[in-house]
């Protein structure tokens, strides 16, 4: 019987990486949000900022801020952020999601796949949708295109009022 041949790859990688400490990698998350007060409070999803050491906010005019996380609610998947700025910020008008009707036109704004300020439109497909995402399942379903990076962004009605927050994607049976 012959002895097993030495594994050349093991030798190479052992020499190459020997003594190289594992460097911690910074994980990045991408999401969206919207301003709810002129002094810089922003609403987004909790899962967008969960575990973040630093939260960077980029406004539509290109300005970039470091945000402080002021509140988190994992059950509702909501996060409240705060940025500091000298001037008043434009605020999204809040509507009433109870008044939404199936068939009503809606618009989603976000950063899908990192593509800043993308707008998609669709209709409300269903209300009160249960998808098993948590204890407060009561989702507005829309056929507006929503992708990774849209999380935390606003869902507007035709009057320009925020009626929901883009939160979950169910991508079964596309086609």
Among residues 77, 84, 93, 99, the one annotated as catalytic is 77
Among residues 7, 32, 39, 47, the one annotated as catalytic is 47
Among residues 32, 61, 97, 151, the one annotated as catalytic is 151
Active site residue 151: yes
38-71 burial: b if 16+ Cβ within 10 Å, else e: eebbbbbbbbbbeeeeebebeeeeeeebebebee
Active site residue 117: no
Active site residue 47: yes
Residues marked as catalytic: 47, 77, 151
């Amino acid at each position: 019987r012959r002895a097993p041949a030495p594994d050349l790859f093991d030798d190479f990688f052992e020499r190459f990486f020997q003594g190289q400490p594992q460097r911690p990698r910074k994980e990045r998350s991408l999401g969206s949000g919207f301003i709810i007060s002129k002094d810089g409070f922003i609403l987004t999803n909790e899962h967008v900022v969960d575990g973040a050491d630093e939260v960077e906010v980029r406004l539509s005019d290109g300005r970039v801020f470091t945000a402080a996380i002021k509140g988190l609610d994992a059950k509702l998947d909501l996060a409240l952020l705060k940025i500091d700025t000298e001037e008043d910020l434009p605020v999204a008008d809040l509507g009433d999601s109870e008044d939404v009707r199936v068939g009503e036109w809606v618009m989603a704004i976000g950063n899908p796949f990192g593509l800043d300020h993308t707008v998609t439109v669709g209709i409300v497909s269903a209300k009160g949708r249960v998808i098993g995402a948590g204890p407060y399942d009561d989702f507005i379903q829309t056929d507006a295109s929503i992708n990774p990076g849209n999380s935390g962004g606003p869902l507007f009605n035709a009057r320009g009022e925020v009626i929901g927050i883009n939160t979950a994607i169910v991508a079964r049976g596309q086609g």
